[in-house]
Structure 1
Amino acid sequence: MSYLTIEDTIGNTPLVQLKRIPSDAARQRNNIILGKLEGNNPAGSVKDRAALSMIKRAEARGDIKPGDTLIEATSGNTGIALAMVATIRGYKMVLLMPENLSEERRQSMAAYGAKIILTPKTGGMEYARDLAQKMEKDGEGIILDQFANPNNSLAHYETTGPEIWRDTKGTITHFVSAMGTTGTIMGVSRYLKEQNQAVCIIGAQPEEGSQIPGIRKWPEAYMPKIYDGTRVDQTESVSQSAAERMARRLANEEGIFCGISAAGACAVALRISEQVENATIVFIVCDRGDRYLSTGVFPA
């Protein structure tokens, strides 16, 4: 008999309809809002797809082999996903992350056997990325570089986009995603636009001064190289407080326990639903809420 491995459980996540949060106005406009539950992936986020894609394709090219040390700067989810895939496929994993990110993320990475290097919160992800590059130059390991690696967005072109198209039976009109590495929005946009150029692609970004784990407004020098602005029809800003409120509402009213960037994308999807008619709006629920418990967003 042939059995599944943990790798085989990545992808094909559920697409579920919001029933209680959408306003009466949105319902009267005949709009449907759907969340794609990427927290159902085995390491708990949408980044499982990109992690598997980047490692397997690097192996196929001969760039890495089991036993090598991999290095990555991460705000959390990619690091957890890479740590899982690395341990499955026989790699050592070194992860660099700002010290102010949640304890649950660090513990999850450590559980998969990764070595964690905390960087000053004042330097943000930019400092972590710079340090990772220095470590690679010094011969301490190989960077997969989620920010510049085309296999990040390719994972979503090959899996996430087709799943959304399949599960909406081609009726999707709007796609909303938080923008971090931009891999998800780049890959899904490319696929959906090939099916129907009219699908509107919307990126959620934090308002000025807001810090929302998983989404960023990058300085020009650090803009991910995989990002192509022509693939995003519009960007919408969301505040940290609005994203946190929506995270609590999703848990309390819909039973969807998700992270802050996912809730930010949901807030944008709801905003769009007030402006359109006869729309099927899909947003990415990129991870689970249990890795944010120590932040105080979900008070007991």
Structure 2
Amino acid sequence: MSFAKLEFFNPFSRSIKDRAVYSMIMEAFRKKKFNGTRKHYEATSGNVGIAMAALSSVFNLEFRAYIPSNTPKATETIIKIFGADVVRTDFDVIDQEFIEYVKKEAERDKAINLNQFENDANFFAHYTITAKEIEEQLKSIGKVPEVVIAGVGTSGHIAGIAKYLKEKYGTRVIGVVPAKGSTIPGIKRLETKPKWFFKVKIDQVVDITEEEAFEGIVKVARNDGLLIGMSSGAVVAAYEKIKPEGTTVLIFPDDGFKYVEIFERLLAGARDMTSSQISQPQAP
């Protein structure tokens, strides 16, 4: 039996990143980091930038997002609607060089860099809240999480969930990363050395191509009527590859509406993908 945790019901960025961003901002206020400045800068490929822009409006903060060159135009537009600045860089991916560049930009302008990639408030948001939600939601129907499949980005959510559920249930946790040569928004290869991934036990890592992630998106859209995002599609593709036994939870970090440009390109490259090629639900 499998379930999907639909993180696009979070209100600010329609993604799982609301949790980490809220946690990081609250921790910064608690430590009085915003005393003397209201500016903060962040390296982001999408959802963190949207969540930070939205919550900066709530808390009257000035935010600047530094985004990779290939970030969807829709993401940039959404961030700007919230009143934030956007700097589209020449970087293709967010790597350590990109992160250090943003740190230096923040230092130069006397701004704060919350740094989602190193800030432990990211990890603890999922260890203390997201994992417990999974536990309580399954408990309400008499189940426990035997398997969790999640993407690896900053590694905050997969590591936080893994640590809590392994401590309680010994849950098997499967990570999903882009195959070599593929770019999937929201997830990264382990060569980027995500901080928390290596501090917990992840039982298996599955490589997924961009095309396989898109196939996962199309399958869920045509079977379940949900338009999920690229990393969510990658999680579906990993599930289809390994076909785990037991009560399985798939983490869907966001929905697909901000990825329309990517969908258009992938759909054009798969014009022969018809509904007959995608498994359909049986009529009741």
Compute the TM-score of the two structures, normalised by the length of structure 2. 0.87
Cα distance in 1 for partners of 2:200, 2:159 equals: 10
- Read off the aligned partner of 2:7 and give its amino acid letter: E
1:292 has 2:259 as partner: yes
**How does 1:162-241 map onto structure 2 within 5 Å?**
162-169=132-139, 170-197=143-170, 199-219=171-191, 222-241=192-211
Shift of 1:120: 1.1
- Read off the aligned partner of 2:150 and give its amino acid letter: S
Cα distance in 2 for partners of 1:228, 1:187 equals: 12
The 3 A distance-change label for structure 1 pair 151 and 106 is: same
Shift of 1:62: 1.1
**How does 1:70-81 map onto structure 2 within 5 Å?**
70-81=40-51
Contact 1:177–1:265 under 8 Å retained in 2:
yes
- Correspondent of 2:2 among 14, 33, 39: 33
Cα distance in 2 for partners of 1:87, 1:141 equals: 16
Q: Which runs of 5+ in 2 are unaligned?
A: 272-284
**How does 1:242-257 map onto structure 2 within 5 Å?**
242-257=212-227
Structure 1 segments, 4+ long, off by >3 Å, are: 297-300
- Give the secondary structure class of the aligned counterpart of 2:86: strand
Shift of 1:104: 1.1
| Greater relative CO, 1 or 2 (CA 8 Å, sep 6+) | 1
Contact 1:50–1:151 under 8 Å retained in 2:
yes
Shift of 1:270: 2.6
Shift of 1:242: 0.4
Shift of 1:137: 2.7
Q: Which runs of 5+ in 1 are unaligned?
A: 1-31
1:281 has 2:254 as partner: no
- Read off the aligned partner of 1:195 and give its amino acid letter: K
- Read off the aligned partner of 1:34 and give its amino acid letter: F
Alpha-carbon deviations, 1:119-164, whole Å to 9, x = none?
A: 1144x21243232011123134110010000000111111110011
- Correspondent of 2:112 among 114, 139, 142: 142
Cα distance in 2 for partners of 1:210, 1:143 equals: 28
Query: Comparing 143-152 with 105-114, which one deviates more in the overlay?
Result: 105-114
Cα distance in 2 for partners of 1:66, 1:223 equals: 33
Contact 1:173–1:200 under 8 Å retained in 2:
yes
Cα distance in 1 for partners of 2:252, 2:26 equals: 25
Shift of 1:64: 1.8
Cα distance in 1 for partners of 2:199, 2:30 equals: 30
